[in-house]
Amino acid sequence: MDNEQLKSNLLSSKHWLRLVFMLLYAAVLQLASLVMWALVVVQFLFSLITGTDNQHLRRFGHSLSTYIYDVLKFLCYSSEEKPFPFADWPASNLDPVEEPAASVLPATNASEKAAE
């Protein structure tokens, strides 16, 4: 790399503007992480008290984790697309009546128990 190209890169507003966005998204990432931990605690308490998780919190947690992933992709240069608020909030594709995978018995175990 020659000096002219280096000087051009250092003076490029594109790089400096991305740095500003990266700093803003890094701060948003910290806030989103705090919200996620609060969600984890509330979901655990809800599950502890009622015996099942809250489907609305599960859907919000899914969309929040997708948002955090999108922010990390932007920060790591894996994506040039800026996440929310410059794009839509990630939709949760979880079915409201969908149960967590851990609570579903495999078909072989259920058929074996029925045969007993």
Mean pLDDT of 15-42: 96
Q: State pLDDT tens for residues 106-116.
A: 555 554 545 54
First and final CA of the chain: distance in angstroms? 74
- Taking the C-alpha atoms of residue 79 and residue 73, their distance in angstroms, rounded to an integer, is 5
Predicted local confidence at residue 105, as pLDDT: 46
70: amino acid identity, one letter? D
More confidently predicted of 72 and 6: 72
Mean pLDDT across the chain, nearest whole number? 85
Query: Nearest to residue 91, comparing CAs of 64, 56, 53, 58?
Result: 64
Q: State pLDDT tens for residues 52-99.
A: 999 999 999 999 999 999 999 999 999 999 999 888 898 877 765 555
